[in-house]
Structures are given as C-alpha cells and as structure tokens.
A = this chain, B = another copy of it.
Amino acid sequence: MVDILHRVGIKSSTTEVYDALTTAEGLAKWWATDTQGEGGDLGGVLRFRFEAGGFDMKVLELQPGARVLWEVVDGPAEWVGTQVRWELSQADDYTVVLFKHAGWKEPVEFMHHCSTKWALFLMSLKSLVETGEGAPDPRDVKIDNWN
C-alpha cells in the first residue's frame, strides 16, 4: 500500500476549512464544480463529476474543525477502496491541513498524476478560503497531457 501526502496552511479558522470540505457548495468551489450529495452526514455519499470521469465518496468520519474521512466507493479502479483523510489543526494564523490519500495498491503512473493534481487542488482550496476564489474542475490548473 502506498499513499499520497500533502500539507498546506490556510490563513483562516478551522471552521471555514471544515465547511469547504463538508458541504457540496464548498467542495464545488475548489474541487469539482459538479458536486452533489451530503458531505456533512456520516454515511452520506458525495458525488464528484469531472470532465474526465468522477468519484463517489462515502463519508466515514466527521470531527468538526478537526477531521474528515472519505472512502472511495465508485470511480477509477485504482481509486475504489482507497481513503481520503483530512486533518485540520491551528498553528499561528493558519489552519494546517494534513492530507492523505491512502491505500493505493501500486505506485502506478496514474498515482503520480493524482499526487500532483491533489497538490494543485489543495492550493485551490487554500485560495478559495483565503480569497473567495478557487480553481475547481473544469477551470482547474492543467498539469500534463492527461489533464
């Protein structure tokens, strides 16, 4: 098993970041404009649709201002069964976000791509919370010949 790890710091309260991770409205503004479902309900399913496909995530854990855990229940074969974990904490004027997309079976080329895309989407989340403007799909930053 191999994991994608990232860390960003967002000049905001943990509450604002938590809201952007647990509401379809928030998620639509930094990740996938076409986001539906209930991110704030344990056991609920979030449906993210991108130009190139989509992911369904089941909400496994919610600790307001501190922690969110999703499991991928539908999407690309490499993603199904993996988990996406968000841990929030306050440091100085920042909400520090520790991100982990865990449980990839193999470090395939698609995982390299997703690691870089996650970094750019985390910067989109940071930008949304700090400035009100994110860069969600389909206005996301393109990184390679895949997207």
Residues of A within 8 A of B (CB): 2-9, 91-94, 96, 98-100, 107, 109, 111-113, 115-116, 119-120, 122-123, 126, 141, 143-146
Q: Are B143 and A111 in contact, with the CB atoms below 8 A? A: no
Given A6-B116, A7-B116, 9 additional A-B pairs, CB 8 A: A6-B112, A7-B112, A7-B113, A8-B144, A99-B112, A100-B112, A115-B115, A120-B123, A123-B141
24 A-B pairs within 8 Å (CB atoms) are namely A4-B115, A5-B107, A5-B111, A5-B112, A5-B115, A6-B115, A6-B116, A6-B119, A7-B113, A7-B115, A8-B116, A8-B143, A8-B144, A9-B144, A9-B145, A92-B145, A98-B112, A99-B112, A100-B112, A115-B115, A116-B119, A116-B123, A119-B119, A123-B141
